Amino acid sequence: MPIDPRQFLSEAEELHALVIGLCEVIAFWPPFFKNLTSDQKADLVQEYHYYMLGRALGIFVWLAICCGVKAVFF
């Protein structure tokens, strides 16, 4: 089954899951699953791979911030 790159983040739920994961890491929020209603959990579970991608991107954002601080101040 070929992968269609046009399907990446083609729905609002996918983008929402990615942003939630990204913001949790950048802002040091607790895992979002603890504060969701059952309907919201079901939506996020369906797009869990985008949620985890967002968390991974958050780590890279922090690494870029650390490298920027090191380059400026040290």
d(CA 32, CA 28): 11
pTM of the model: 0.78
Classify residue 1: in a domain, yes or no: no
Q: Is residue 3 in a domain?
A: no
| Domain boundaries, position 50 | 11-73
Look at the chain and report how many structural domains it folds into.
Answer: 1
Distance CA 54, CA 26 (A): 10
Q: Are 54 and 66 in contact (CB under 8 A)?
A: no
Specify if 66 maps to a domain: yes
Q: At 5, list the tokens.
A: 């790159």
pLDDT in tens, the chain (74 residues): 677 888 888 788 888 888 888 888 898 777 766 777 787 787 788 988 898 999 999 999 999 999 999 999 98
